[in-house]
Amino acid sequence: MLWYVLIVFFAGFFAGKFIRTQWIGKYKVVLLFTIFLLFTLGLEIGANDELFKRIDEILLYGLLIALFGSLGSFLLGYLFERFNRRSDFKMCVKGIPIRVFKSDRGDER
């Protein structure tokens, strides 16, 4: 599964060097397929009886693990990003940055 995902991604990545890809951003095709994927995800869980039997405790423990895992990840990521950005700003000559920090350019779309 993981390998197929990789192969498909790199196939697209290299094919895109030779063909036009502007339509993907223009018509929000990625968003459309994401919606479709999430729908099938819900459909799969909903149709599975096994998962709905011991739902209460499983859901509670699952929720807590998910929340704590997410919170820890976000906090650490936030700290690392700030730390990383500060080290970027050190590359200044008399207060003028010699390299523009890329994510400060703003979004491309």
Partner 1 sequence: MMSAVILLSSVVIGLVVGRITKFELPDNVVALILYILVLLVGLDLSKEKIEKRLFKDVSLVILSTVGGTFLFTFLLSFFLPLRKLEVLAAASGFGWYSLSSVIISTSYSAYLGSISFFANVLRELCAIVVAPFGLKKSKYGTISVAGATSMDTLLGLIATYSNRETALLSFGHGFVVSMLVPIFVNLFLRLMKSF
Of residues 65 through 94, those in contact with partner 1 by CB under 8 A are: 65-81, 84
DSSP for 80-105, written as a single string: HHHHHHHHHHT-EETTEESS--GGGG
Residue 29, φ and ψ in degrees, nearest 5: -65, -40
Site for partner 1 in 47-66 (CB under 8 A): 47-48, 50-51, 54, 58-59, 61-66
Least spacing, CB of residue 89 vs partner 1, in Å: 14
Q: What is the DSSP letter of 54?
A: S
For the window 8-27, what string marks contact with partner 1 as x by the rule CB under 8 A?
Answer: xxxxxxxxxx-x-x--xx--
